[in-house]
Amino acid sequence: MSRKNGSVDSVDKRLEGGGPTLVAEKDPLHNIDLDLMNALKEAFDEAVKDGFQGDQQQWQDSLSLSQLKRIGAKNGGLIKMSMTKN
């Protein structure tokens, strides 16, 4: 088929679709943000300096929801109002 500028469309080989389909993870925590991981690590290190004895998992399990929200918002960002009721 010719165009107004004189060029001609030519297809030597038809391209097939069907490349890999990317979908979002079902678990939003699967790809946790590095900033949040670093904030948790810093808060854990501070707790150890203040005398906490245990591993990071035990420390995280001991935190209240409001404490976790405070750590998550440390570097800025919004907290949904529905999340602040606990």
The pTM of the full predicted model, rounded to 2 decimals, is 0.51
pLDDT at residue 48 is higher than 90? yes
Report yes or no on 54 lying in a domain.
yes
User: Rounded to whole angstroms, what are the CA distances from 80 to 16, 18, 32, 74, 75?
Assistant: 44, 38, 18, 15, 16
Report yes or no on 15 lying in a domain.
no
Residue span of the structural domain in which 61 resides: 34-76
pLDDT at residue 38 is higher than 80? yes
Task: Report how many domains make up the chain.
Answer: 1
Report yes or no on 41 lying in a domain.
yes
List the one residue out of 28, 38, 26, 39 whose CA is nearest residue 74. 39
Q: Average pLDDT over the chain, rounded to whole?
A: 75
